[in-house]
Structures are given as structure tokens and as C-alpha cells.
């Protein structure tokens, strides 16, 4: 489940064999690990290695790539602008690497997040608890025709690792939970769109992925007994993963940056591996 790539530069060109290995492993459900690729803070950015830069209301500080607006930080004025600049620099570097390493030509850059608060000790409902194994599905941002969720992470902590679990492959998980999820209510997606709860209408795929996300987190037996591998991502390392496909949980760690990307299934080298294609095959019906 872990594919280590010996990259030391955020910019390509990269060797063709490395690029081929990267896309094949990623689409098969592996986590690409870059142990020799640190995101280095400038001296005046090290003050942001402090949990108090978060406002305490949201899990993550976020940066909108379109507006440049930063949210959920306690900082104001020049300090908030400098934090925004640091996050934007990380976003640019992550985008350059993803574009140079992978064959996808149409990649949408979504939000950037900074996670300064220690994972351990936070209290959330089960549905919101990222310490439980789950696949990513966004309640308010529909993926409609199965757009992929690709995420790049950097552990910028000075010394401490970030502790993850990675679960079983997507298809066995889907086979187990599909019979347990109820069909969504007719008209629910239409109503949520009209009320502004979602940015566009959820497809049957969106509703099913949300149901699978919730079912996994709420099933205590699955959380205790299902196969999982523990991975420690050291300080100053990075990793890349399709989080809509790979069951994962963040058990501990602080000071992580994350960049989300979206891409259409048609961009993939092997579209049949996409969650929407797996779920359509297992359920015997179109989902978008």
C-alpha cells in the first residue's frame, strides 16, 4: 500500500520509469511516499508552528485558490497574510510536482489546508472523526460523475511523525458495505441544491459514497477488526493519495499541509479502477 519514490526536487522532468510507476501505483490504491522531499519553511514562517494559529472552531485552516481568502485562523492583518502566502507557496509547489509527475492534463486545484492542531485529544462525532478508517466524500461539494479526490500532504513538523492507518482495498470494502447502505430519499439531492446546502446537485454516486463513508465510521466491528497497516510519515516528508479510494485514518501528528486536486475519471490511465466504475459494476446500475 506504500510506494516510495526517491524524488528530491519539486520540479520535473522526472524519469519516464518513475512517472509510470507513480501513476500505476496511485491508481491501484497505493500511497505515494516522498521521504526525501521536504517542504521547507522560511525563518519568519516558523512562528506558524503553533496550534494557536487555528481559531479553535474548525479542524483545519483553509485557503481558497480562487479568491485567496484564508479561513479558520486566529491570525489577523500581516500575520494572516504571511500564513496565506506560505500556504499558497506550498500549493504552487504541490501543483508543479503533480503536473510534472502524473499524465493528467486537466487537474483542478481545490482548497489548500493547514492542520496545526495535534490529532490526538480532539473530540468529534464519529462521522467527523478522521481517526476512524474512512474514504473521503464531501457532503457539500458533489463529485457528480465520479470526479477523483487526489490529495498531497506534507508533514512540516520539526521532529514528530504523522501517524496514519491505511485499510483494505476499495473493492472488498465496497462489497462488504454496499448491502448495508440504504438508498437515498427521492428528491433529497434536489432539495439540498435548492437550499444551498450543496454546491450543485448530488448524483447517486455522491449519495452512495457519503453512505459508505458514514457506514464505515459508524461500524465499531469494522473499525476494530478490519485489515489495516500503520504508516508513520516522518517529519519533513510528503505523500500523495487518492483519498476517495484508499481507506485511511489520521491517528496522530500536528503541523501538516494538504493540497486537494480534482480530476475527471476520463483522465485516468485505468478508468476502471475509479470508485464510480467499481460501484457501478458491483451495483449493476449507472451512478451518474
Q: Where are the beta strands (DSSP E) in the chain?
A: 2-4, 31-34, 61-63, 70-71, 108-115, 148-155, 162-167, 228-233, 237-242, 248-252, 256-263
The pTM of this model reads 0.96
Instruction: Tell me what the mean pLDDT of segment 220-232 comes to.
Output: 97
N- to C-terminal Cα separation, the chain:
29
Q: Which CATH architecture has domain 2-283?
A: Sandwich (2.60)
Q: For residues 77-85, give the mean pLDDT.
A: 97
pLDDT higher than 90, residue 277: yes
pLDDT at 124: 76
At 282 the pLDDT is 97
User: What pLDDT, in 10s, does the model give residues 12-30?
Assistant: 999 999 999 999 999 999 9
Amino acid at each position: 500500500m506504500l510506494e516510495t519514490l526517491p524524488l528530491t526536487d519539486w520540479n520535473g522532468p522526472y524519469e519516464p520509469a518513475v512517472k509510470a510507476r507513480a501513476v500505476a501505483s496511485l491508481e491501484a490504491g497505493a500511497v505515494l511516499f516522498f521521504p526525501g522531499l521536504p517542504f521547507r519553511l522560511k525563518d519568519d514562517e516558523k512562528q506558524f508552528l503553533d496550534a494557536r494559529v487555528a481559531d479553535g472552531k474548525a479542524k483545519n485552516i483553509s485557503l481558497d485558490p480562487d479568491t485567496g481568502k484564508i479561513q479558520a485562523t486566529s491570525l489577523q492583518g500581516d500575520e494572516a497574510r504571511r500564513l496565506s502566502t506560505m500556504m499558497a507557496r506550498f500549493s504552487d509547489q504541490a501543483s508543479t510536482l503533480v503536473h510534472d509527475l502524473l499524465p493528467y492534463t486537466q487537474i483542478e486545484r481545490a482548497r489548500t489546508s493547514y492542520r496545526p492542531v495535534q490529532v490526538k485529544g480532539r473530540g468529534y462525532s464519529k462521522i467527523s472523526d478522521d481517526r476512524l478508517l474512512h474514504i473521503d466524500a464531501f457532503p457539500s461539494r458533489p463529485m457528480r460523475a465520479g470526479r477523483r479526490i487526489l490529495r498531497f500532504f506534507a508533514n512540516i513538523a520539526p521532529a514528530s511523525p504523522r501517524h496514519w492507518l491505511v485499510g483494505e482495498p476499495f473493492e472488498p470494502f465496497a462489497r462488504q458495505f454496499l448491502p448495508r447502505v440504504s438508498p437515498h430519499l427521492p428528491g433529497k439531492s434536489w432539495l439540498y441544491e435548492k437550499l444551498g446546502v450543496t454546491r450543485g446537485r448530488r448524483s447517486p454516486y455522491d449519495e452512495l459514497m457519503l453512505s459508505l463513508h458514514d457506514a464505515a465510521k459508524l461500524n465499531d466491528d469494522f473499525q476494530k477488526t478490519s485489515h489495516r497497516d500503520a504508516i508513520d510519515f516522518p517529519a519533513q516528508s510528503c505523500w500523495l493519495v487518492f483519498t476517495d479510494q484508499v481507506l485511511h485514518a489520521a491517528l496522530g501528528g500536528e503541523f501538516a499541509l494538504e493540497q486537494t486536486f480534482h480530476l475527471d475519471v476520463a483522465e485516468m490511465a485505468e478508468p476502471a479502477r475509479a470508485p464510480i466504475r467499481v460501484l457501478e459494476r458491483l451495483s449493476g446500475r449507472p451512478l451518474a
